[in-house]
Amino acid sequence: MWPSGKVADRQRGPLIVGTGIAGLYIAIRSRELGLKPLLVTKARLEESNTRYAQGGIAAAIGRDDSVQRHLRDTVRAGAGLVNRPAARVLAFEAPARIADLVRLGVPFDTIDGQIQLGREAAHSRARILHAGGDATGYSIEESLRHRVLEMGIEVRERTILREIRPGRSGLPEAIVSAADGTAVETLDPRPLVLATGGAGSLYRQSTNPSVTTGDGVAVAFRAGAIVSDLEFFQFHPTVFFRPGAPRFLITEALRGEGALLRNVKGDRFLPSIHPDGELAPRDVVSRAIAAEIDRTGHPCVYLDATEIPRDRLYTRFPSVCRFLATFGLDPARDRIPVAPVAHYMIGGVTTDTDGRTSLVGVYAGGEVASTGVHGANRLGSNSLLEGLVFGERIARDLLHPSAGGTRPRFPSTPIAWPPGAGGPEDPARIDELRNDLWRNVGIARSRTGLSSAVRAFDRIRATVEPAEDGRPPGPGANAALTASLIAQAALARTESRGSHYRSDFPGPDPRWARRLYWVRAGSSA
């Protein structure tokens, strides 16, 4: 049971797990504020979802824009479930966080000395900043990584968070190990920041690197943290499709520049589905593409950018153009085969707007966190921004804990999660899990498919979940737990809203205009 009183000792710097934009930025700001953070990452320092983000980062800094417009767009995209105080924080603090990135050396693209702004789906104004054209995530990751190294922040690569336990003075102890499961170690109690990213690579088809396996959600849930919104998983509509080829994301900004979606016959199909056509919200576009694929029997649709001038294409989207060239495609001449795949975990470990979870001394930021800022469907290019805005608030709370360090309170529904057999982790079972998630907990869901997935994940869980013998869980157990939580949440929400679509409940239901919170039965959260 976790203590609920005051956290007495915060002299030891925070342990920050994960090195995407949230983890790196929190480490930098913690160090600037006088703390001594320790950064831990399961792979290399630079390996994260941030590195592969093409679309950019949103902020209302244009002359014809305002933070109120950004807020309205965020709320509208969220399909009635956005936590408005969190969204207000996101929109109103965005310009200051962009200034921080400029200060930290991020080379945003400019025109005549002014930051260039692009437009993406569901944004009412051009407010997307880019760096290196479509290499925004890479540019941010590299700039922050270099600053971390310059500042001498301690980094432990290829180190995995295995478990969180209550420690002395109310601070958590983290059990970590080498990437191969050896060298298990219990770190001294200190504030812990989960910045572990999402769970996209648990799906068979995904834009995510292999490190995004939902570990942060699983570890926090086992420790008694409340999680929420896990039924909402965003699928990116335009990802390169060719059998055997990598699932390379074709940025939404290409549609913002005028690229059109066409079926195998060359016909547009989005205008008949949504008034914004190709710039409709991502969930609408993804479902429309999936439906068109089903209707035609052709395995993909095509993104047509041939009306965009060649010089603009190659200047604005150099990464996309280079990638397509390896397959003999020229976007100025050829249509690009695309299909939707898993992209972004909207839910996660529940936090307040200072990143505090229901566990004392444990914070969460970035994709692993669930503030409710995205509601049921994330507005494009708000994800990198989320890591910055709430990362700043986490760093400041680490220095001066809110309300003396007491934990926030959230509603929750208990879920039983008994000990397992603690058996060996069979890669074939994880392969089965990835297939089941894609097939039954994907773009379109139903009671039959979701029930089947829950049963399958529970069978895997019963095999690999640790017994009550003190051994920390491994990656297979984390995968099974996170997948099961996603499927159970999707089964519970008997409506369609935002990125969660039920073919057996195809419309929204006002009775479901509420968030779902879950906690492990028997915890004190």
CATH number for the domain spanning 431: value is: 1.20.58.100
Binned at pLDDT 50, 70 and 90, residue 6 comes out as very low
Say which residues have a Cβ less than 8 Å from residue 462's Cβ, sequence separation at least 6: 420, 421
Q: pLDDT-derived band of residue 64, with 50, 70 and 90 as boundaries?
A: very high
**Confidence label for 278 from pLDDT (cuts 50, 70 and 90):** very high
Residues in CB range of 116: below 8 A, 6 or more apart: 108, 109, 110, 129, 130
What's the average model confidence in pLDDT over 198-208?
Answer: 94
Residues 157 and 281 in one domain: no
Mean pLDDT for 202-226 is: 94
Supply the pLDDT for residue 48.
Answer: 75
pLDDT given for residue 144 in this prediction: 96
pLDDT tens digits, 250-265: 988 899 899 999 999 9
Same domain, 293 and 364: no
Q: Mean pLDDT score of the chain, rounded to an integer?
A: 92
Distance CA 74, CA 378 (A): 8
Is 352 in the same domain as 336?
no
Distances (CA, A) of 395 to 32, 198, 402, 408, 421: 10, 21, 12, 17, 39
Q: Of residues 127, 162, 255, 282, which has the active-site annotation?
A: 282
In this prediction, residues 2-16 reach a mean pLDDT of 59
State the pLDDT at residue 281: 84
pLDDT confidence band for 424 (50 / 70 / 90): confident
Taking 90 as the threshold, does the pLDDT of residue 206 lie above it? yes
Single residue among 388, 405, 422 that ends a domain in this structure = 405
Structural domain ending residue among the three candidates 314, 340, 366: 340
**Number of domain units in the chain:** 3
Residue 47 is predicted with a pLDDT of 74
**What is the per-residue pLDDT for 8?**
37
| Beta-carbon-side half-sphere exposure of residue 234 (alpha carbons within 13 Å) | 29
Q: 144 with 31, same domain?
A: yes
Please tell me the predicted confidence (pLDDT) of residue 49.
Answer: 67
104 falls within a domain: yes
Domain of residue 24: give its range.
15-196+344-405
Question: Does 205 reside within a domain?
Answer: no
- Predicted pLDDT of residue 465: 82
Q: Is 90 exceeded by the pLDDT of residue 339?
A: yes
Taking the C-alpha atoms of residue 230 and residue 217, their distance in angstroms, rounded to an integer, is: 10
Q: Please give the pLDDT value at position 404.
A: 55
Burial of 322-333, coded b for 16+ CB within 10 Å and e otherwise, reads: ebbeeeebebbe
> 362 and 439: one domain?
no
- Rounded to a whole number, what is the largest CA-CA distance in the chain? 67
As a whole number of angstroms, the distance between CA 463 and CA 339 comes to 34
177 vs 122 pLDDT, higher one: 177
The highest-confidence range among 168-172, 329-333, 406-410, by mean pLDDT, is 329-333
Structure tokens at 301: 């649709």
502 is catalytic: no
CA distance readout (Å), 208 to 213, 246, 524: 9, 11, 34
pLDDT of residue 433: 95
pLDDT above 60 (res 287): yes
Listed range (182-186, 444-448, 498-502, 507-511) with the worst mean pLDDT: 182-186
Instruction: Specify whether 362 is located in the same domain as 472.
Output: no
123 shares its domain with 155: yes
pLDDT tens digits, one per residue of 66-121: 999 999 999 999 999 999 999 999 999 999 999 999 999 999 999 988 999 988 88
CATH code of the domain covering residue 176: 3.50.50.60
Tell me whether residue 130 is in a domain.
yes
Instruction: Check whether 45 has a pLDDT greater than 90.
Output: no
283 and 166 within one domain: no
Helix axis angle for 67-77 and 84-103, nearest 10°, is: 130
Is 172 exposed, middle or buried (CB count within 10 Å of its CB: 0-12, 13-18, 19+)? Answer: buried
Beta-bridge partners for 163: 175
Pair (243, 163) in one structural domain: no
> Does one domain contain both 248 and 163?
no
Among the residue ranges 9-23, 123-137, 317-331, 449-463, the one predicted with the least confidence is 9-23
| Residues 388, 459 within the same domain | no
- The verdict on residue 224 lying in a domain is no
The CATH number of the domain holding residue 295 is 3.90.700.10
Confidence label for 332 from pLDDT (cuts 50, 70 and 90): very high
197 pLDDT tier (thresholds 50, 70, 90): very high
Q: Is 231 part of a structural domain of the chain? A: no
Eight-class DSSP state of 260: E
Examine the pLDDT at 498 and tell me if it is beyond 50: yes
Dihedral, CA of residue 241, residue 243, residue 244 and residue 247, to nearest 10: 20
286 and 141 housed in the same domain: no
Pick from 405, 423, 445: which residue ends a domain? 405
- Which DSSP category does 379 fall into? P
User: Residue 212 domain-assigned?
Assistant: no
Residues 209-219 pLDDT 10s: 888 999 999 99
